[in-house]
Chain A
Amino acid sequence: GAGVSQSPSNKVTEKGKDVELRCDPISGHTALYWYRQSLGQGLEFLIYFQGNSAPDKSGLPSDRFSAERTGGSVSTLTIQRTQQEDSAVYLCASRENNEQFFGPGTRLTVL
């Protein structure tokens, strides 16, 4: 079956611009996570959704970051006024039981 998909796969933007990253989880998975992975670093938790609600937003680095999920399916992560330190791979995962299934990620480069 189809796995988790993310778009775009690569995004290059200029400092100060807004970007929107999309995640399509595996159908039927109610739990969805966003992570950020910088070069040579581990995965940094950003936000967790259960259905459409986000009980844990504790990992969002600043108020420039926001995320939403509609219809218990697609999620978007928005970064406003991007900064160079936002450059990273943004990974989305959906979960069934205790296993997380990751998408291929969006590689964001802020110039």
Chain B
Amino acid sequence: RKEVEQDPGPFNVPEGATVAFNCTYSNSASQSFFWYRQDCRKEPKLLMSVYSSGNEDGRFTAQLNRASQYISLLIRDSKLSDSATYLCVVARTGTYKYIFGTGTRLKVLA
């Protein structure tokens, strides 16, 4: 079993739709959580960190559920420019090792 697992998708949604992705992690010692965005043939870029109480950045909301060991990303009012692969990233307690999921691909359709 991979340490970080994501549904690869693709998620095809119309513009304006709300879409949510989940990511599960297996190491309960995991401490830090992030969502990165990767456009086709580009490098990953930080979208947002995920805090225990949940956090929001504009149309994006991230949630953490430690008991069930998953994090989620909700995108409201999807834009064409949101089309990308979303990578779930988990860092282990006491280390600076970051474990990347394989990503969930989102396509927003006109």
Q: Residues on A close to B: CB < 8 A?
A: 31, 33, 35, 41-43, 45, 48, 50, 56, 58, 91, 95, 98-100, 102-105
Q: How far is the CA of A95 from the CA of B97 in the complex (A)?
A: 11
* Contacting residue for B96 out of A31, A42, A58, A105, CB 8 A: A31
A7 to chain B, nearest CB (A): 14
Q: Is the interface of B mostly helix, strand, loop or mixed?
A: strand
* Contacting residue for B43 out of A45, A91, A95, A99, CB 8 A: A91
Q: Is the CB of B44 within 8 A of A102?
A: yes
Size bracket, chain B contacts: 20 to 34
B25 within 8 A of A: no
Q: Is the interface of A mostly helix, strand, loop or mixed?
A: strand
What residues of A have a CB within 8 angstroms of the CB of B87 in the complex?
A: 42-43
